[in-house]
Amino acid sequence: MKKVLLMLAVSVLVFASCALLTMFNPFKSGHIGVYSKSGDNPSDFDFDSKGEVERTGEIGSDIDILLEPWVTFEGDPMPTIMLNIVSPDSFSFIMDLGIISLDDAATLEDSDLVPDSFAMDFAAKKEHCYYVISTPEKAEFFMLIDSVIIDGDASPYDADVYFTYIAR
């Protein structure tokens, strides 16, 4: 009887600790998409716990990043992560850190996060990590592109970008 109660208590502790780990996990997942040919509204992304936001009109000031259906000079689909610049007082900043993990990005020094120039957009590249600053909130995030899915059967194309992110 004691063994059964002990096993039951251990099982409860294991399940409770797993639930707490997911609750306190700093890594979150995100998704933004462009639905050009399907007629659906594009989905933008707000890091401040709102997540994916459907664009129903003009780009709102509460959206940090968006995805635009750009193409390369050869005409190949190239979904591009864009900044939201509504006014000089409300904009986001983004920097491509290359292929590094979120853990490695989180250990970068401030001097490593000072770019040579201001950039408005980057091609969404799988396994690339980006450094994002959202103003006027002054929130900072690292986002790692997990996958880029393009449905390029017709022009314009649909695209979805899935990523994992963590606050700095």
pLDDT tens digit sequence for 41-66: 889 998 877 889 888 777 766 788 88
Q: Is the dihedral of CA 76, 77, 79, 80 positive or negative?
A: positive
Evaluate if pTM is beyond 0.85.
no
Confidence class for position 137, pLDDT limits 50, 70, 90:
low
Above 80 in pLDDT, residue 134?
A: no
What is the structure's pLDDT at 39? 77
Above 60 in pLDDT, residue 22?
A: no
What is the structure's pLDDT at 12? 45
Confidence class for position 139, pLDDT limits 50, 70, 90:
confident
The CA-based dihedral angle spanning residues 114, 116, 122, 125, taken in that order and rounded to the nearest 10 degrees: -70
Structure confidence by residue, pLDDT tens digits, 70-121: 988 998 899 999 877 666 566 667 888 999 999 999 999 988 887 655 567 8
65 contacts 48 by C-beta, under 8 angstroms: no
